[in-house]
Amino acid sequence: MEIQRFDTAVVFIDPQNDVLSEKGTSWAVVGASVTENGTVENMCVESHLREFLEQGFETAVVRDATAGPRHPDWGDGYEAAIINYRYLAHAVPSTEETVERMLR
């Protein structure tokens, strides 16, 4: 997959209200994980990823620019997300790799 600055869009997904806020609708489920790890962005990212694929875009998910929850019974959501991204996206590069490709 080619990643070039002249034909690449960067999409920022912001889960602030429902996920990162103690007053958010998802806090009871994800609050401990957010406090420990960051967020449950993996679900938001995958939803957008699927939409872009359905619209015919080539997609890449920057693997170290997203997060996933850890749950004592359900397992590592980040690891599961990366596996799903590898099946869905055209590429799953790191931030460093992405920036390097865009600067070529």
In a domain, 87, yes or no: yes
- Does a structural domain hold residue 7? no
> Does the pLDDT value for residue 90 go beyond 80?
yes
Give ∠ CA 19-61-1 in degrees, rounded to 5. 170
Would residue 63 count as lying in a domain?
A: yes
Residue 4 falls within a domain, yes or no? no
Residue 57 has a pLDDT of: 94
**Residues spanned by the domain of 76:** 16-102
Q: Give the pLDDT band (50/70/90) at residue 15.
A: low
How far apart are the C-alpha atoms of 53 and 90, rounded to whole Å? 10
Does residue 10 fall inside a structural domain? no
Confidence tier at 36 by pLDDT (50, 70, 90): low
49: exposed, middle or buried (Cβ count in 10 Å: 0-12, 13-18, 19+): buried
Residue 39 lies in a domain: yes
pLDDT above 70 (res 98): yes
pLDDT grade for 51, boundaries at 50, 70 and 90 = very high
The yes-or-no verdict on residue 54 having pLDDT over 90 is yes
Whether 5 maps to a domain, the answer reads: no
- Phi/psi of residue 71, each to 5°? -125, 135
- Domain annotation covers residue 11: no
Domains in the chain, number: 1
Res 89: pLDDT: 96
pTM: 0.74
- With vertex at residue 99, the alpha carbon angle to CA 79 and CA 53, rounded to the nearest 5 degrees, is 55
